[in-house]
Structures are given as structure tokens and as C-alpha cells.
């Protein structure tokens, strides 16, 4: 009987020690984070919230380097024409499409594009994130449509595509979770 009590006590001690480690492992599966150093670097360089960059990566690719059926590439799922535009505007004269498989380049280009969209839409994060997903032309149309109705753009009322509305919401939800769960890793000054 003493042996069983000792084994049970040892089991409880091991469980108590392992619980935080297991919790963290489950969190990382549900909400992965890779390349935090590159994300922090690009956030500082482009004056972006690192949790926003992480949330876009998570929403776009789940931190998996892949090519979408539409042809978007890498962690931040950049379309080849968009990447070429970014290379031209940012001085990436040596850029080749294959570079989008490199996390440092993909995150740098995706972050550049986020900064560009934020500036284009006067800091309006909803419009910038909607444009990242649905394209600038569509967002511009939605803004004009809202103005013609005498209204100020509102995502819930003026984004006609449920996919894009859902995308924007998913990015903002993920951003909040990254801010809470990975504050230290993203250099946000808060930790769990």
C-alpha cells in the first residue's frame, strides 16, 4: 500500500511539474508562433504591432510555408504581382519569386504591404486588413459605395463578402490572442 501511495504522490508531482509545459504545448499547437525574431524586427522597422503581423501570418497560412490555389506564396500569402510591386517600391532589385519561400523575405514584404495599406487607408486597420485579403480595388469600391449612401464605411455593413468580413474578424481575434499569449516573445512588454 505504501508503494502505491508513493507512486501516486510521484505521479502528482510529475503532473504538477508537467502541467505548465503541456499547457504551453497545447497553446502552440492551437496558436503557433514561429520566426518571432523576424516579426519583432519587421514590426520595429515598419512601425507595426508585432501581434498584428503574427495574426496575419496565422490567418493566412497558419505559419506554414505554402502556395495557395490562387498562387499566393509563403507565410504571409503574397501574390506574385504584389511581391513584384513591393520589390520595385522597396528597392528589392535582386528579388525573385522563389525568395517568397524565405521567411525573412516573406515577412519583410508582407509587413511592408501592411504598412503601405495602413498608410493608404489613413491608419484604418479594418480597411487595411480587408484590402490585404480582398484587394485594394474592392475596398476602394466599398468605400465609394458607402459614401454614395451617405454613410461612413463600416465593415459589418459595407464589406459584402462574408469571407472578407470573417477574415478581418479572424485577424483581430488572433491579434488579441497573440498579444495575450505571446507578449514576451513578440516584445510587447507583457508576459503570461
Taking the C-alpha atoms of residue 88 and residue 56, their distance in angstroms, rounded to an integer, is: 23
Q: Which residues contact 145 (CB under 8 A, 6 or more apart)?
A: 158
Using alpha carbons, select from 118, 112, 119 the residue that is nearest to residue 45.
112
User: Catalytic residue among 28, 41, 60, 151, which?
Assistant: 60
Taking the C-alpha atoms of residue 13 and residue 131, their distance in angstroms, rounded to an integer, is: 51
Taking the C-alpha atoms of residue 134 and residue 117, their distance in angstroms, rounded to an integer, is: 12
Let me know: does 137 contact 144? Beta carbons within 8 Å. Answer: no
Taking the C-alpha atoms of residue 101 and residue 73, their distance in angstroms, rounded to an integer, is: 7
60 is catalytic: yes
Using alpha carbons, select from 38, 26, 93, 92 the residue that is nearest to residue 65.
38
Q: Active-site positions?
A: 60
Amino acid at each position: 500500500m505504501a508503494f502505491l501511495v508513493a507512486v501516486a504522490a510521484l505521479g502528482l508531482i510529475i503532473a504538477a511539474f508537467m502541467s505548465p509545459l503541456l499547457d504551453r504545448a497545447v497553446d502552440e499547437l492551437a496558436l503557433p508562433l514561429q520566426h518571432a525574431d523576424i516579426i519583432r524586427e519587421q514590426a520595429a522597422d515598419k512601425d507595426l504591432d508585432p501581434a498584428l503581423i503574427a495574426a496575419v501570418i496565422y490567418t493566412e497560412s497558419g505559419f506554414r510555408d505554402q502556395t495557395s490555389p490562387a498562387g499566393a506564396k509563403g507565410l504571409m500569402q503574397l501574390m506574385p504581382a504584389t511581391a513584384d510591386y513591393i520589390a520595385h517600391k522597396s528597392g528589392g532589385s535582386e528579388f525573385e519569386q522563389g525568395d517568397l519561400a524565405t521567411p525573412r523575405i516573406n515577412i519583410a514584404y508582407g509587413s511592408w504591404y501592411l504598412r503601405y495599406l495602413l498608410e493608404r487607408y489613413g491608419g484604418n486597420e479594418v480597411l487595411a486588413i480587408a484590402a490585404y485579403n480582398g484587394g485594394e480595388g474592392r475596398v476602394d469600391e466599398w468605400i465609394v459605395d458607402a459614401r454614395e449612401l451617405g454613410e461612413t464605411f463600416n465593415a459589418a455593413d459595407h464589406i459584402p463578402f462574408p469571407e472578407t468580413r470573417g477574415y478581418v474578424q479572424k485577424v483581430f481575434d488572433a491579434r488579441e490572442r497573440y498579444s495575450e499569449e505571446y507578449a514576451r516573445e513578440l516584445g510587447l512588454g507583457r508576459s503570461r
